[in-house]
């Protein structure tokens, strides 16, 4: 099966009404856990890392591990750069063989976001890669370092953006936010439905951690085909490792290593079952 273009996964999902999970990883063990879950459930998978996280996991090291894991997987796996901010990093990811990149121009005025997204699309074309963009602004920053306020996606802007760029996947802001939600998220499903009616592009839901199963299912019914989950996986890994250290006086390295794999595996598996991507590989 192995490394595939993200666009293919989203097209398949669009035909059969399920969501493909895009799971953020930070190391080899998390990659192994995510692939294990996908293989066990016979589910497609998107492995991703955001540009802001590359200070912890340098792209030239983590990138090849992601690609090799995808190539060897028994299920289709797309490898995606999340929240690409600079052309340099986007290009580096494409050179490494990432099959998908996001250009996040959500902080830019609409015209500029359109212009820059088009430039990224031109570049990605040379590599046959998929491009995701963002319109409106998802709340919070990917790594929690900035307090970014939410800007709900306008239907007119989404329509114009999709028509002018012909981007492959479009992230929308409908009450979702990155990181841990301070209050239960209230998703504006009416707005999502309006966007879905006007825009043919597969939609992307960022800020998956903390959204409940009904919330996910309602989003999938209304055009969301890619769902990003990061914090919940990182937190589950930390929880499992913490339990391990609390349960034993002395822990050997490889027991710890195994807990990281398991922590990622559990969270990815739980989400894939909710997204309905099991048995869709
Ligand atoms: P969470 O950390 O809230 O799951 O968000 C993930 C995300 O949207 C990555 O782009």
Residue 280 resides in a domain: no
Q: Tell which atom from ligand 1 comes closest to the C-alpha of 82.
A: 10
Query: Which of 21, 80, 179 to mutate for ligand 1's pocket (most ligand atoms within 8 Å of CB)?
Result: 179
pLDDT at 1: 60
Q: How far apart are CA 221 and CA 261, in angstroms?
A: 31
pLDDT at 140: 81
Residue 1 resides in a domain: no
- The angle formed by the CA atoms of residues 183, 189 and 191, to the nearest 5 degrees, is 115
Q: Is the pLDDT of residue 58 over 90?
A: yes
| CB contact at 8 A, 146 and 182 | no
206-219: per-residue pLDDT in tens?
999 999 999 999 99
Residue 91 resides in a domain: yes
Mean pLDDT across 54-62: 98
Mean pLDDT across 169-195: 94
Residue 256 resides in a domain: yes
Q: Tell which atom from ligand 1 comes closest to the C-alpha of 233.
A: 4
Q: How far apart are CA 237 and CA 266, in angstroms?
A: 9
pLDDT at 167: 98
From the CA of 85, how far away is ligand 1's center (Å)?
A: 16
pLDDT at 182: 83
- More reliable by pLDDT, 131 or 177: 131
Kindly state the DSSP code that residue 277 receives in the 8-state scheme.
Answer: -
Kindly state the DSSP code that residue 206 receives in the 8-state scheme.
Answer: -
- Phi, psi (rounded to 5 degrees) for 119: -65, -40
Three-state secondary structure call for residue 54: helix
Residue 45 resides in a domain: yes
Residue 83 burial (10 A CB sphere; 0-12, 13-18, 19+): buried
Query: Which of 50, 84, 231, 238 to mutate for ligand 1's pocket (most ligand atoms within 8 Å of CB)?
Result: 231
Q: How far apart are CA 272 and CA 23, in angstroms?
A: 10
Q: Is the pLDDT of residue 24 over 70?
A: yes
If pLDDT is split at 50, 70 and 90, which confidence band does 183 have?
Answer: confident
Residue 129 burial (10 A CB sphere; 0-12, 13-18, 19+): buried
| CB contact at 8 A, 56 and 27 | no
CATH number of domain containing 262: 3.20.20.70
| CB contact at 8 A, 133 and 165 | yes
Three-state secondary structure call for residue 226: strand
Report which of 161, 159, 158, 141 is spatially closest to residue 150, judged by C-alpha positions.
141
If pLDDT is split at 50, 70 and 90, which confidence band does 147 have?
Answer: confident
Domain enclosing residue 53, as ranges? 6-275
104-127: per-residue pLDDT in tens?
999 999 999 999 999 999 999 999
Kindly state the DSSP code that residue 80 receives in the 8-state scheme.
Answer: E
Neighbours of 110 (CB within 10 A): 15
Q: Is the CB of 46 under 6 A from ligand 1?
A: no
Q: Which residues pair with 135 in a beta bridge?
A: 172
Residue 197 resides in a domain: yes
Q: How far apart are CA 165 and CA 206, in angstroms?
A: 20
* Catalytic choice (14, 82, 168, 196): 82
If pLDDT is split at 50, 70 and 90, which confidence band does 141 have?
Answer: confident
Residue 281 resides in a domain: no
From the CA of 48, how far away is ligand 1's center (Å)?
A: 10
From the CA of 195, how far away is ligand 1's center (Å)?
A: 21
Highest mean predicted confidence (pLDDT) among 7-11, 145-149, 175-179: 7-11
pLDDT at 148: 76
Q: Tell which atom from ligand 1 comes closest to the C-alpha of 208.
A: 4
> Is residue 82 annotated as a catalytic residue, yes or no?
yes
| CB contact at 8 A, 90 and 84 | yes
Say which residues have a Cβ less than 8 Å from residue 110's Cβ, sequence separation at least 6. 135, 157, 160, 161
pTM: 0.97
219-274: per-residue pLDDT in tens?
999 999 999 999 999 999 999 999 999 999 899 999 999 999 999 999 999 999 99
If pLDDT is split at 50, 70 and 90, which confidence band does 14 have?
Answer: very high
The total number of structural domains in the chain stands at 1
Q: Is the pLDDT of residue 52 over 70?
A: yes
Residue 86 resides in a domain: yes
Q: Is the CB of 24 under 6 A from ligand 1?
A: yes
- More reliable by pLDDT, 184 or 32: 32
């Amino acid at each position: 099966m192995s490394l595939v273009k993200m666009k293919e996964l989203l097209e398949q999902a669009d035909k059969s009404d399920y969501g493909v999970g895009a799971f953020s990883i930070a190391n080899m063990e998390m990659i192994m856990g995510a692939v294990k879950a996908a293989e066990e459930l016979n589910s497609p998978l998107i492995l991703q890392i955001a540009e802001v996280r590359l200070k912890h996991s340098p792209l030239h090291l983590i990138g090849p591990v992601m690609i090799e894991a995808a190539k060897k997987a028994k299920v289709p796996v797309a490898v995606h750069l999340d929240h690409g901010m600079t052309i340099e990093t986007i290009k580096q990811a494409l050179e490494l063989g990432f099959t998908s990149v996001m250009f996040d121009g959500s902080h830019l005025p609409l015209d500029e976001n359109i212009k820059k997204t088009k430039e990224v699309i031109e570049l990605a074309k040379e590599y046959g890669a998929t491009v995701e963009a963002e319109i409106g602004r998802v709340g919070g920053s990917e790594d929690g370092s900035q307090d970014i306020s939410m800007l709900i996606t306008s239907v007119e802007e989404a329509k114009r953006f999709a028509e002018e760029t012909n981007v492959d996947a479009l992230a929308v802001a409908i009450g979702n936010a990155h990181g841990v939600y301070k209050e239960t998220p209230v998703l504006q499903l009416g707005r999502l439905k309006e966007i879905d009616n006007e825009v043919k592009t597969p939609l992307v839901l960022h800020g998956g951690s903390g959204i409940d199963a009904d919330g996910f299912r309602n989003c999938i019914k209304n055009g969301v085909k890619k769902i990003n989950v990061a914090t919940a996986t990182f937190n589950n890994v930390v929880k499992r490792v913490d339990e391990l250290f609390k349960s034993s006086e002395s822990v050997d390295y490889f027991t710890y290593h195994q807990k990281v794999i398991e922590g990622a595996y559990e969270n990815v598996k739980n989400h894939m079952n909710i997204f309905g991507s099991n048995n869709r590989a």
